[in-house]
Structure 1
Amino acid sequence: MKHKIIILTDGDKIAKKAAERVAKNINGRCISISSGNPSKINGEEVIKLIKCAKEDPTIIMVDDRGDIGRGNGEKIIQTIIKSQEVILMGIVAVASNSAGSGIRVDYSIDKWGNIIKHAVDKYGNEKDNRIIIGDTINTINPNDVPVIIGIGDPGKMDGNDDLSKGCPILTAAVKLIINSYEK
C-alpha cells in the first residue's frame, strides 16, 4: 500500500504544533521529525518514516529557512515527487516575506477561512494574483503537484488559525487537498 502525503511548506515550532493538531483533526498522521527551520532530515529518511505511518494521509513539513535556490526542504519535495513508494496528494504552500518567483496556487484559504482563487500574503490577506511567495516553493514545478493550496503563515493570521481554535485555516487547506484528491 502506498501512503498518501500532504506537504506543508513550513517547519518552525508553530507550524509543527499546527501540523500535529491538523493531523488529529483529520484522523491522519504527522511526521513531527520532519519539522525544523530548516528541515534537518533528507527525503529518503522522510519516505522511510512515511512508510511506517499507521494512518493516511500523512502530513510532512519542509522548510528552507529562506535559503535562496534549492534548499533541503525543496530537495525533500523533489524526492517525494519522484518516489514510486508514496502518493503526493498536494501541497499547502505557506506564504512568507522571502524573495523569489513563487508558485501558482489552485486555491487559497484566506485568514477568514474563505476558499479563494487568488494567492494570499503572509498574513492571510487576499492578493490580486494567483502567485504565492514562500521560501520553500520557488523551485517546484506546479505540473508535478496534483493541487497547491495557499495559506498565510500559521501564527501570523491575526490569531484566526490559532492552536486554541483547532487551526481552522490549515485544517481547511488540508481538507481541500483531500477532497480534491478524492474527486
Structure 2
Amino acid sequence: MGKQKKVIIITDGDEYARKTIDYLANQLGGTSLSELTNNPSKVPPEKVLQAVHEAKQEPVYVLIDDAGVQGVGFGEKILSSLAEDPKIEIIGAIAVAAHTKNMEWCRFTFAIDNEGNQIPYGVDKKGIPIPEVGRINGDTIYLLDQLDLPLVIAIGDIGKMDGKDDIKKGSPVTRKALEIIFERGGLT
C-alpha cells in the first residue's frame, strides 16, 4: 500500500468555520476542503474522498456538519467513508461544541478553552469549561467515539467564542488545536 493521505476532521461547516480553516490552512499548510461543506453537509462521500485523494498538500482539512439533525447524516457518512479508506489516515479531529439540546456527545483526548488552556473538562460553544470531564456535546461527533482516532480535541465554536477565536486575532484556539494535531501527527 502506498503512502496514506493525512486528514484532519473538523466537526463544523458554517461560514465562520470555513473561513477560519481556509485562513489557517494558508498559514500552517495543507489543503482545506471547505468548499465541499455547508451547514449541513450535502456533498456525497465519494466526492469528498476523491478530493482528499487529489489534494496536493497535506494535511487535508475535512469539515463535516449535520446542522443538529439527529441520526446519520451526510457528515457521518463522509466521516465513515474516510475512516474506511485504506489510503487515508485520520491523524486527529477537532470536536466542536454545540448546544446541549443536541444530545450527541463523544469522548475527547483533552479540550482547549477560549483562553487557550488545555483542560480535561468539556467546553460549551463559547469555549467556557463545563463540569463534564472527558466528553463534549456536539453535532456530527458521536461517530468519533466509534473510531480509533489518535487525537480528538474539543473546542468551542470555531471562529467565534465571543470573539476570542476571531480570525482577526488569528483564530488562536483553533490554531492551537491544529498545531497540536500537526505535532502529534508527525507534520512538524
Q: Does the pair score TM above 0.5?
A: yes
| RMSD, aligned α-carbons | 1.5
Q: How many residues end up aligned between the 2 structures? A: 183
Letter in 1 for 2:184: S
* Alpha-carbon distance in structure 2 between the residues aligned to 1:32 and 1:156: 17
Q: Does 2:157 align with 1:157? A: no
Residue among 156, 172, 177 paired with 2:176: 172
Q: Is the Cα contact below 8 Å between 1:18 and 1:163 reproduced in 2?
A: yes
Q: How far has the Cα of 1:86 moved from its partner?
A: 1.1
Q: Does 2:108 align with 1:105? A: yes
Letter in 1 for 2:108: V
* Alpha-carbon distance in structure 2 between the residues aligned to 1:91 and 1:172: 13
In the other structure, the counterpart of 1:48 is 50
* Alpha-carbon distance in structure 2 between the residues aligned to 1:121 and 1:171: 18
* Alpha-carbon distance in structure 2 between the residues aligned to 1:5 and 1:154: 18
* Alpha-carbon distance in structure 2 between the residues aligned to 1:143 and 1:82: 10
State the TM-score, normalizing by the size of structure 2.
Answer: 0.91
Q: Is the Cα contact below 8 Å between 1:9 and 1:92 reproduced in 2?
A: yes
Letter in 2 for 1:134: G
Unaligned runs of 5+ in 2: none
Q: Does 2:118 align with 1:127? A: no
* Alpha-carbon distance in structure 1 between the residues aligned to 2:15 and 2:147: 30
* CA deviation string 1:150-181 (max 9, x = no partner): 00012431211101111111111111112222
Unaligned runs of 5+ in 1: none
Query: What pairs with 1:60-71 in structure 2 (closer than 5 Å)?
Result: 60-71=62-73
Q: Is the Cα contact below 8 Å between 1:102 and 1:133 reproduced in 2?
A: yes
* Alpha-carbon distance in structure 2 between the residues aligned to 1:33 and 1:63: 13
Residue among 90, 96, 100 paired with 2:92: 90
State the TM-score, normalizing by the size of structure 1.
Answer: 0.94
* Alpha-carbon distance in structure 2 between the residues aligned to 1:52 and 1:159: 34
Structure (1/2) with the larger strand percentage: 2
Q: Does 2:153 align with 1:138? A: no
Identity of aligned residues (%): 37
Letter in 1 for 2:15: K
In the other structure, the counterpart of 2:10 is 8
Q: How far has the Cα of 1:142 moved from its partner?
A: 4.5
Letter in 1 for 2:67: R
Letter in 2 for 1:112: E
